[in-house]
Structure 1
Amino acid sequence: MQDEKPGRLVDEGPRIADIDFTGYRMRVPTDRYRSRAYAEREREALWLRVWQVAGRCDDIPEAGDWLEYRLFDQSWIVVRGRDGAIRGFVNACRHRGNAFCQGRGHAARFTCPYHNWSYGLDGKLLAVARPDFDGSLEDFVGAKEDLGLIPMPVATFAGFVFLNPDRDAAPLADFLGEARELLAPYHIEEMIPCGLNVRESIGCNWKVVMDAFQEGYHIQGVHPELVAAMDESRERYRFCGDHSVATAPFGASNLGASSLADQIAAIHGLPATFPAVADCLPRFDELVESCRRPDGTMPPAPEIPLRALLQQAMRESWQAKGLDVGGLTGNQLSDNHFWILFPNLFLTIHAGEGTLIMAFPSEDGDPNRCTWHVQTLQWVPPDRRAALRTPLTTVPEGEHFAYFLALEQDYEQMQHQQRGLRNMAQPFLTLTRQEVRLAHYHASIASWVEGPGAH
């Protein structure tokens, strides 16, 4: 039954009119975006303590595949072992601290090029060069068992590899909480980067990126071509600890007064936003045609449940392809769900496809710059994934990747915002009720950086 599916918690979540705002502070201090001192506090209290995405599991599909994850001046290795398990280690040799991995690659073992100490994929010290030169290793530096690579907390969920720089961190499952249950039915672990997979430097604070994708209020000004497709008045919300999700029915009220033909045409226009929807449109048209009366006429538009018919067609289409959509509600099939996995992962998701945006602080700590990573994710049958997987494009400093229209508009606007935020005379941002997720998000940041109870 639909009401047994986890997604019902979002389907039945409160709208803006139902939310009690008395607990929210609707002003955000602007020094959080421009202050090096605040950026340093974020580094120590947030980034070096929180679970964060280091990559995708399919970035390291085979035993011996590894990637480097860098944050500020810190560097770690994430590697798939011979037993299939993914592990994380500090990227530093236990002899003299040499960093021996950069980028990504494949190895049967890790060998430090400085003095040729070598380590297994499980991090254990295997051998040292010239062990006979100074006698027994144990006589001088201790047992080999104590000189393996330093392990780091690593866990996986939804095809993502999470790493926590805090070696005493609570488990990832505890950190994600309810978000795990709500996201699991999408089977994101079976999706691949397909069409867009880009990392690029951008001239704004990392939180400007995260803020931009937590509200639809800016659509009227930045994305006027999307106004007809979005109805923020019917958004529903769910807050899951530091994480949150919002969803709005596609064109719910914007198209309600339109003719049947116009509403059907709008649904046929969906593939511009949801490419996989095109595959279900023939079945959708059949279902609409089945509503025709015995005399050959069509009922009035309000009597034809177009959303339900679209959802049925999508469910049948995905099931025919091989994607298990049995755990998704109808709304999770047809509507975008806008997720924030704290602190820096934004995910627009619906059945079979999504868009991922992550923002990372600048490596040199400059609060006015960050790196963002944009991926479009799509479910394709297993036998086609290798051929269709889009490799990562890293944009050289000073160059720019041309995104699709809406994303290009966001890229430009976020840099305009940062220029304004650098003005020292403006002490705070003022949020509206439509930006309740930003209020929640910044309360979470404050609780990490400034302590419990801070906003």
Structure 2
Amino acid sequence: MQQEKPGAVVDDGPRIADIDFSGFLMRVPTDRYWSQDYADREREALWLRVWQVTGRADDIPEAGDWFEYKLFDQSWILVRGRDGQIRGFVNACRHRGNAFCEGKGHSARFTCPYHNWSYGLDGKLLAVARPDFEGTLEDFVGAKEELGLIEVPVETFAGFVFLNPDRNAAPLSEFLGEALDLLAPYRIEEMIPYGFNVRESVGCNWKVILDAFQEGYHIQGVHPELVAAMDESQERYHFLGDHSVATAPFGTSNLAESSLEEQVAAIHSLPATFPAVADSLPRFDELLEGLRKADGTMPPASDIPLRTLLQQAMRESWQAKGLDVSGLTDNQLSDNHFWILFPNFFLTIHAGEGTLIMAFPSEDVDPNRCTWHVQNLQWFPPEQRAAMRTPLTDVPEGEHFAYFLALEQDYEQMQHQQRGLRNKTQPYLSLTRQEVRLAHYHASIASWVEGGSAR
């Protein structure tokens, strides 16, 4: 039954009028976007204590594959062991603290180039070169196991590798909670970066990026071409601790007065933002044509369930390709779910594809700059994934990657906003009820950075 699927909780979630705003932050202090003191507090109270995505598990598919994850002046190594498990270690030799890895690579073992101490893929100390003592390695500064690389919590979910700098952190399952069941039916772990996979510096605070993708209020001003495809007045919400998800149905009341031709054209325009939809359009056209009456005319637009036809076409198309969409509701096939996994992970997703945006503070803790990582994720049959995978593009400082229209518009707008936020005589932002997710999000930020309680 449709209601038995996890996504039904979002399909049937409350609209703005039904949400209790108590506990949400409707006035957001602007200094949290430009204050160096606030950025330093975020570093200690939030970033060095919270679960965060470092990359994809398929970035390191083979035993010995590794990549470095950097946050501020901190550095960790994520490596796949011989047992297939991904582990995380502080990127510092236990002898004199030398950083021994940079970027990404493949190693049978880690050897520090300073004094040639070596470690296994499981972090255990293997050998000390020319030890200046008599006896065995076990005699040197205690037991051998005490000298292994310092391990930090690392877990995977939906194909993403999560790391927590806090060695005493609660399990990832406890942090993500209900999100685990809601996201699992999309089978994101079977998707790959496709079309674009870009990381570059942006001239704004990292929270400006997360703010921009939690509300549709700006569509009328920044993305007028999307108005026909998204009906924000029908958006539904679901809050999961510090995380949240919202969904807006494709083309409902905002297309109700349009002609059939205009509504069909709006559906055909979807591949401009979500390319995989194109594969289902021939079947959609067949289903639509099947409604033509004997005299050759079509029923009135109000009598044609275009959303249902699109959803049927998408379900059939994905099933034919081999993607199991049985756990998704009909609305999850055609409508975007807009996810925030606290603190810096935004994902727009529907069946078979999505757009991921992550924002990270600048390495030098400059609150007016950050790095974002954007990628399109798309499902392909297993035998096609290696050939279709788009590698990461790291944009050099001072250069810019040209994104698709809507994302390019956001890229420009966010930097304009930061220019305004730096005006210290404006003490706070005044949120509207349409920006309910921002109000929820900033209450969560405050609870971590200003609340002082352990999470």
User: 2:179 and 2:452 mapped to 1: Cα distance?
Assistant: 22
Q: 1:190 to 1:12 in 2, by over 3 A?
A: same
Q: Which residue is equivalent to 1:284?
A: 284
Q: Which residue is equivalent to 1:167?
A: 167
AA aligned opposite 1:4: E
Q: Which residue is equivalent to 1:195?
A: 195
Q: Which residue is equivalent to 1:246?
A: 246
User: 1:339 and 1:131 mapped to 2: Cα distance?
Assistant: 53
Q: Which residue is equivalent to 2:53?
A: 53
Q: TM-score, normalised by structure 2?
A: 0.98
Question: Which secondary structure state, in structure 2, belongs to the residue aligned with residue 197 of structure 1?
Answer: strand
Question: Which secondary structure state, in structure 2, belongs to the residue aligned with residue 410 of structure 1?
Answer: helix
Question: Which secondary structure state, in structure 2, belongs to the residue aligned with residue 228 of structure 1?
Answer: coil
User: 1:83 and 1:230 mapped to 2: Cα distance?
Assistant: 46
User: 2:430 and 2:226 mapped to 1: Cα distance?
Assistant: 24
- For residue 139 of structure 1, report the CA deviation from its aligned partner: 3.3
User: 2:263 and 2:217 mapped to 1: Cα distance?
Assistant: 24
- For residue 294 of structure 1, report the CA deviation from its aligned partner: 4.1
Q: Which residue is equivalent to 1:26?
A: 26
User: 1:231 and 1:289 mapped to 2: Cα distance?
Assistant: 26
Q: TM-score, normalised by structure 1?
A: 0.98
User: 1:124 and 1:24 mapped to 2: Cα distance?
Assistant: 46
User: 2:366 and 2:285 mapped to 1: Cα distance?
Assistant: 53
Contact 2:23 2:443 in 1 (8 A): no
AA aligned opposite 1:426: Q
AA aligned opposite 1:128: V
Question: Which secondary structure state, in structure 2, belongs to the residue aligned with residue 142 of structure 1?
Answer: coil
- For residue 293 of structure 1, report the CA deviation from its aligned partner: 3.1
List per-residue Cα deviations over 1:299-321 (Å, max 9, x = no partner). 21111111011100000000000
Contact 2:284 2:313 in 1 (8 A): yes
Residues 97-246 of structure 1: pairs in structure 2 closer than 5 A = 97-131=97-131, 134-246=134-246
Q: Which residue is equivalent to 2:308?
A: 308
- For residue 78 of structure 1, report the CA deviation from its aligned partner: 0.4
- For residue 22 of structure 1, report the CA deviation from its aligned partner: 3.8
Q: Which residue is equivalent to 2:371?
A: 371
- For residue 452 of structure 1, report the CA deviation from its aligned partner: 6.6
List gaps (5 residues or longer) in structure 2. none
Q: Which residue is equivalent to 1:415?
A: 415
User: 1:268 and 1:203 mapped to 2: Cα distance?
Assistant: 35
- For residue 296 of structure 1, report the CA deviation from its aligned partner: 3.8
What is the aligned-residue RMSD (CA, Å)?
A: 1.2
1:275 equivalent in alignment to 2:264: no
Question: Which secondary structure state, in structure 2, belongs to the residue aligned with residue 79 of structure 1?
Answer: strand
- For residue 295 of structure 1, report the CA deviation from its aligned partner: 4.2
Between stretches 245-254 and 337-346, larger displacement belongs to 245-254
Residues 373-392 of structure 1: pairs in structure 2 closer than 5 A = 373-392=373-392
Between stretches 257-266 and 5-14, larger displacement belongs to 257-266
Question: Which secondary structure state, in structure 1, belongs to the residue aligned with residue 228 of structure 2?
Answer: helix
User: 1:107 and 1:188 mapped to 2: Cα distance?
Assistant: 28
List gaps (5 residues or longer) in structure 1. none
AA aligned opposite 1:311: Q
- For residue 262 of structure 1, report the CA deviation from its aligned partner: 1.8
Contact 2:201 2:372 in 1 (8 A): yes
Percent identity, aligned pairs only? 84
Q: 1:299 to 1:273 in 2, by over 3 A?
A: same
User: 2:429 and 2:166 mapped to 1: Cα distance?
Assistant: 31
